[in-house]
């Protein structure tokens, strides 16, 4: 399949059909958390698409950035349609209906993208029209892969399309062009408000931050007058206006903004205390659990760790070892809060308890350690606070798990040190 060729979408739907999204029907997650969990590993929420969800076996990594973006955005919109309609394993007919809904959505949100160019022929189908709209929706400049902020700002709003599309589906596809475009404008303006708060806290001599703040404003769909107003925001940012916009918003929009805040602070420089306080204040005023900020920080760091080679422009910002330590600390904090639930899950897992007892008498084999590892990970996945975390599994070795899970969660007299051999830095301890 080649996303540059006509009718690639029909071929993608054919390849994509009958593949599960991984969410059982009747699952008690909200639709929004399912969408987040499914799409966060792709990188689209951060403006840096890396790969399709693991269940979709189409190798996008070797593709040019734009082709990869086109397909990952399309998958995100198709998945949103299916998750909203509680369809776990969509067939080709369902995906075709989804593509028609996406096409109608974009015709309202970006009617200018549907206009054919001077040398373009008229599309022969809705799918061909959607191919054209999505191609025009995405912009990739030559500097995309050379500097983090440029790529971040170019395509950070693609995830906003997914959020707005979900609202469109909730309205039974009855939102007007004016309503959709106003919603898009408000999201863009408030991302500027968020970034202006962060830029304002940064050292005023840091001209790079200011330059990229301007760059983002130029990348928006705002009018000239609106862009001029936005530029004034960096001088006197209005945090309260941002809070008012997000206060009664859905969880997914709040999560999006929170992670943009985490990412913009974390990726460009070490977080100062004043910046951490801003994120804590934002989390509190949005009525999000205090651990939501930990989870978002973990999600951003997980994305970097999972894609260390691809996200090469971040490698100089944080060493892998420092990042690993920070992630372990975050998981320890969360596991302590939910210790009682984790302990119950461990106690009820007879095979795991048996292996833990054996480990106190003799070293476990590699196969036995892998069983301990996988079952402990499954237990973490069953805890609400860990459900929305996208955990890098290779990172969660037995030694790491023994460190992040407090000793009192295990059977009495259990010594976690006996689970870790002298070669404890290996993948399975």
* Tens of pLDDT, residues 173-214: 899 999 999 999 999 888 888 877 776 665 544 555 556 667
Asked if 352 and 289 sit in the same domain, the reply is no
Instruction: State the pLDDT at residue 30.
Output: 86
Between 340 and 426, residue with greater pLDDT:
340
Asked if 15 and 144 sit in the same domain, the reply is yes
Q: Which tokens in the block code for residue 249?
A: 């918003």
Phi-psi region of 172 (alpha: psi -120 to 50; beta: other; left: phi over 0): left
Is residue 201, in this structure, part of any structural domain at all?
yes
**Domain tally, the chain:** 2
CA 280 to chain centre: 20
Is residue 1, in this structure, part of any structural domain at all?
no
Confidence of residue 429 (pLDDT cuts 50, 70, 90): very low
Asked if 244 and 378 sit in the same domain, the reply is no
Asked if 203 and 304 sit in the same domain, the reply is yes
Q: What percent of the chain stands above pLDDT 70?
A: 77
Give the model confidence (pLDDT) of 373-412 as tens digits.
999 988 887 776 676 566 666 677 888 888 888 888 888 7
Asked if 99 and 177 sit in the same domain, the reply is yes
Is residue 428, in this structure, part of any structural domain at all?
no
Q: Which tokens in the block code for residue 99?
A: 């593509």
Is residue 426, in this structure, part of any structural domain at all?
no
Between 78 and 147, residue with greater pLDDT:
78
Is residue 424, in this structure, part of any structural domain at all?
no
Is residue 360, in this structure, part of any structural domain at all?
yes
Is residue 3, in this structure, part of any structural domain at all?
no
Do residues 44 and 73 touch, judged by C-beta distance below 8 A?
Answer: yes
Is residue 224, in this structure, part of any structural domain at all?
yes
Asked if 147 and 92 sit in the same domain, the reply is yes
Instruction: State the pLDDT at residue 236.
Output: 63
Query: In the predicted model, what is the mean pLDDT of the chain?
Result: 80
Instruction: State the pLDDT at residue 269.
Output: 46
Q: Which of 329, 349, 382 delimits the end of a domain?
A: 329
Between 288 and 237, residue with greater pLDDT:
288
Asked if 299 and 413 sit in the same domain, the reply is no
Rg of the chain taking only CA atoms, in angstroms:
23
Burial of residue 405, with CB atoms counted within 10 A of its CB: 0-12 exposed, 13-18 middle, 19 or more buried? buried
- Tell me what the mean pLDDT of segment 309-315 comes to: 54
Instruction: State the pLDDT at residue 382.
Output: 79
Give the model confidence (pLDDT) of 248-289 as tens digits.
899 999 999 998 888 777 655 455 566 678 788 888 888 888
Give buried/exposed letters for 255-292 (b at 16+ CB in 10 A, else e).
bbbbbbbbbbbbbbeebeeebeebbeebbeebebeebb
Instruction: State the pLDDT at residue 274.
Output: 63
Nearest to 368 by CA among 409, 415, 422, 429: 429
d(CA 40, CA 32): 12
Q: What is the pTM of this model?
A: 0.80
d(CA 94, CA 55): 18
d(CA 138, CA 105): 16
Asked if 366 and 261 sit in the same domain, the reply is no
Q: CB 176: neighbour CB atoms within 10 A?
A: 10
- At residue 63, φ and ψ (nearest 5 deg) are -75, 155
Domain that holds residue 390: 337-419
The owner of tokens 């929004």 is 32
Q: What's the half-sphere exposure (Cβ side, CA atoms, 13 Å) at 403?
A: 18
pLDDT surpasses 90 at 10: yes
Confidence of residue 170 (pLDDT cuts 50, 70, 90): very high
Asked if 60 and 156 sit in the same domain, the reply is yes
Q: What percent of the chain stands above pLDDT 90?
A: 26
What 8-state DSSP symbol labels residue 117? P
Instruction: State the pLDDT at residue 424.
Output: 39
Give the model confidence (pLDDT) of 341-367 as tens digits.
889 999 899 999 999 889 888 888 989
Q: Which of 312, 329, 346 delimits the end of a domain?
A: 329
Asked if 356 and 265 sit in the same domain, the reply is no
Give the model confidence (pLDDT) of 411-428 as tens digits.
877 888 877 754 433 433
Residue partners of 386: CB distance under 8 A and separation at least 6:
334, 338, 380
Asked if 224 and 313 sit in the same domain, the reply is yes
Q: Which tokens in the block code for residue 92?
A: 């080709």
Asked if 103 and 156 sit in the same domain, the reply is yes
Q: Which of 300, 329, 358 delimits the end of a domain?
A: 329
Instruction: State the pLDDT at residue 422.
Output: 46
pLDDT surpasses 60 at 42: yes
């Amino acid at each position: 399949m080649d996303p540059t060729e006509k009718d690639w979408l029909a071929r993608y739907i054919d390849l994509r059909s009958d593949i599960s999204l991984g969410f059982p029907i009747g699952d008690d997650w909200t639709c929004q958390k399912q969408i987040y969990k499914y799409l966060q590993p792709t990188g689209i929420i951060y403006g840096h698409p890396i790969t399709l969800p693991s269940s979709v076996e189409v190798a996008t990594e070797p593709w040019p950035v734009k082709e990869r973006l086109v397909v990952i955005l399309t998958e995100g919109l198709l998945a949103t349609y299916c998750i909203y309609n509680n369809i776990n394993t969509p067939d080709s007919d369902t995906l075709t209906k989804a593509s028609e809904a996406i096409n109608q959505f974009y015709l309202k949100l970006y009617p200018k993208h549907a206009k054919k160019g001077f040398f373009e022929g008229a599309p022969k189908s809705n799918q061909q029209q959607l191919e054209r709209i999505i191609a025009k929706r995405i912009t990739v400049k030559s500097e995309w892969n050379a500097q983090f902020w440029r790529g971040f700002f170019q395509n950070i709003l693609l995830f906003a399309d997914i959020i707005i599309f979900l609202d469109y589906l909730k309205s039974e596809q009855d939102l007007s062009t004016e309503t959709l475009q106003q919603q898009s404008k408000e999201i863009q303006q408030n991302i500027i408000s968020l970034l202006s708060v962060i830029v304002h806290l940064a050292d005023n001599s840091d001209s790079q931050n200011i330059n990229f703040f301007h760059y983002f404003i130029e990348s928006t769909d705002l009018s000239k007058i609106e862009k001029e107003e936005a530029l004034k925001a960096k001088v006197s940012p209005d945090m309260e206006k941002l809070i008012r916009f997000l206060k009664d918003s859905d969880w997914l929009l709040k999560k999006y903004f929170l992670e943009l805040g985490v990412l913009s602070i974390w990726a460009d420089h070490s977080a100062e205390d004043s910046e951490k306080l801003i994120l804590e204040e934002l989390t509190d005023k949005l009525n999000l659990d205090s651990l939501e900020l930990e989870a978002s920080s973990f999600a951003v760091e997980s994305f970097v760790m999972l894609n260390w080679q691809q996200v090469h422009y971040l490698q100089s910002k944080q060493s892998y070892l420092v990042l690993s330590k920070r992630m372990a600390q975050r998981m320890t904090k969360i596991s302590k809060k939910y210790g009682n639930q984790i302990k119950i899950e461990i106690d009820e897992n007879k095979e795991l308890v048996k292996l833990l007892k054996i480990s106190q008498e003799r070293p476990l084999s590699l196969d036995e350690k892998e069983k301990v590892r996988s079952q402990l990970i499954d237990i973490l996945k069953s805890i609400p606070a860990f459900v929305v975390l996208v955990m890098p599994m290779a990172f969660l070795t037995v030694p790491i798990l023994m460190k992040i899970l407090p000793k009192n969660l295990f059977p009495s007299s259990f010594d976690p040190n006996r689970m870790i051999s002298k070669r404890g830095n290996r993948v399975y301890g």
